A and B are shown apart, each in its own frame.
Chain A
Amino acid sequence: MTYVPLDITDLVVAASLMLINGLVSWAFALKLERTLFINSVRMALQLAMIGFVLKWIFAQTSPVWTAGLATIMILVAGYEIVSRLSRRPKGLSAYLLGSGTLFLVGTLGTGFAVLGIIGPDPWYQPRYVLPILGMVLGNAMTGIALTTSTLFESANRDRTAIEARLSLGANRFSAMGETLRLSLRTGLMPILNAMAASGIVSLPGMMTGQILAGLDPIEATKYQIMIMFLIAGATALGVVIAGYAGVLLITDNRHRLRLDRLHPAKA
């Protein structure tokens, strides 16, 4: 088990690679120098900050602080879902839908992994809880955003077909059945593709990290397989919940299609 720590000079050497970006921007007159500078400084500062925050939270091993950071992660991911929608629901319902679903699958998924599988002592150790929650959230977020955005887009496109079915006496879930199915499929695609490609096309980030940190590759692989199943399950659950919640959001209890609850599409 070898682990080579990096010091500040190593980071400065790595940062020198940004000169290539600068050179490209200058040579092709892309005028990106300013953005480049700001964004690389921002990246370094944000990561450094989260490093200190995590170090501090890890030192506390307090469920309260862990839950606090987890809440922030869930809220930010919920916001990210809404910002990816081209047709946004009016009001706060979309944020509720995004963060609410993530809260549910994040808690369930992380709880399942930490309590049921890994079993650290105490179970709420942030160095297990937070990274696993992060991976669950990241993948569920992508799935939920794809599902809801497909749902709202195609409900709008297939309005006449959905209303034809409603007019013939279908309830809102059967009238939107095809639309919902398409949305769920779309939302599940990325994680299914990721499972097929992992290990051949891509080495998943967590496994790479554990290998770099000196863990035996076989052990790292076992962890990665567990995580892949975990995020696939959590994403599937999140996609289904968000899909049904999305149908409820754009229909009402009189089984009407209520596209007036969505903002018009962004240009």
Chain B
Amino acid sequence: MIRIDKLKIANLPALSFEVGDGECMVIEGPSGSGKTRLARALADLEPAQGHIFVNGAERLETPAPAWRHFVRYLSAEPGWWTDTPREGLPMDPKSEAQVLRLMASLNLEPQLLDKPVSVLSTGERQRLALVRALIDDPPVLVLDEPTSALDQRNTALVEEVLRYQLINGRSVLLISHDRDQVARMADLRLQLAPVDETPDSASKATSPILSDTKTSQLSTPQK
């Protein structure tokens, strides 16, 4: 379970919400509305004021590397630092079995592990990054458009893997532009309103007149 208490990000009003074990919250909003910044702040990759709790542990009281084992952020364009995926993945026997199992469920051939990352397709890299993110069983997953480069079939496979995570009691926060995906996955929805990106947006955001038209609201849980 992850609980967010008055988290302040950029021009957004302070956010407070909770995603329980086995629940999936979809974060929606147009480009520039702060979805990615929110996701990064949850994993403490970006400074932000406010409290975040995972199963009772508070973000700033937990060492950052340990925190990122609790809240796993997967960026929209995951980076690789090795020549082949294998070198970037934990390869002790237990992890390797899990890697291969996850790869099979995501329609990835085992040979891909030893191909140079640079020749893999965007979709293959995206699914491999999801595999990489799931190996140490993080209790909270924050996924930034994990299916943006995938066709319908592979999208369905990713959603299946995510449902399995939910069944196992993990919390999933999913950024998505895909209405159908939102309908399929969301237990909860967080709608971020557009934020004015003009240079004087900082001053605008503090003005009370605009702040109510640019509110982010939390819709009622629909279960």
Contact = CB atoms under 8 A, between A and B. Distances in A.
Interface in B85-134: 129, 132-133
Contacts of A165: 81
Interface string A107-146: 0000000000000000000000000000000000000000
B44 A256 contact: yes
Given A254-B44, A256-B47, A164 B129 contact: yes
Contact of B74 (A167, A169, A170): A167
B80 A167 contact: no
A163 B66 CA distance: 15
Contacts of A178: 81
Contact of B45 (A161, A167, A170): A167
A165 B81 CA distance: 8
Chain A CB within 10 Å, residue with most, of B43, B73, B74, B81? B81
A185 interface: no
A255 B65 contact: yes
Given A158-B81, A163-B75, A254-B64, A169 B45 contact: no
Given A254-B64, A255-B64, A167 B81 contact: no
B30 interface: no
Contacts of B64: 166, 171, 254-256
A160 B44 contact: no
Chain B CB within 10 Å, residue with most, of A166, A170, A257? A166
Nearest to B76: A160
Contact of A167 (B47, B60, B72, B77): B72
Nearest to B138: A169
A167 B68 contact: yes
B204 to A, nearest CB: 22
Contacts of A158: 79, 81
Contacts of A162: 79, 81
B43 A160 contact: no
A159 interface: yes
B79 A160 contact: yes
Given A163-B45, A256-B44, A256-B46, A171 B80 contact: no
Interface size class of A (residues with CB under 8 A): 20 to 34
A168 interface: yes
A161 B66 contact: no
Contacts of B45: 163, 166-167, 256-257
A45 B46 CA distance: 52
A168 B132 contact: yes
B69 interface: yes
B194 interface: no
B217 to A, nearest CB: 28
B78 interface: yes
Contact of B133 (A159, A161, A168, A254): A168
Contact of A171 (B65, B74, B77): B65
B160 interface: no
A254 B132 CA distance: 22
A196 to B, nearest CB: 29
Given A165-B81, A167-B68, A168-B132, A160 B46 contact: no
Interface in B15-72: 43-47, 60, 64-66, 68-69, 72
A118 B89 CA distance: 53
B214 to A, nearest CB: 24
A51 B43 CA distance: 59
B66 A169 contact: yes
A254 B68 CA distance: 11
A222 to B, nearest CB: 46
B157 to A, nearest CB: 22
B163 to A, nearest CB: 22
Given A162-B79, A164-B79, A255-B64, 7 more contacts: A161-B79, A164-B78, A164-B80, A171-B64, A252-B47, A254-B64, A256-B47
Interface of A: 158-171, 178, 252, 254-257
23 contacts: A158-B79, A159-B79, A160-B78, A161-B80, A162-B79, A162-B81, A164-B78, A164-B81, A165-B81, A167-B72, A167-B73, A168-B132, A169-B65, A169-B68, A169-B69, A170-B65, A171-B64, A252-B47, A254-B64, A255-B64, A255-B65, A256-B44, A256-B45
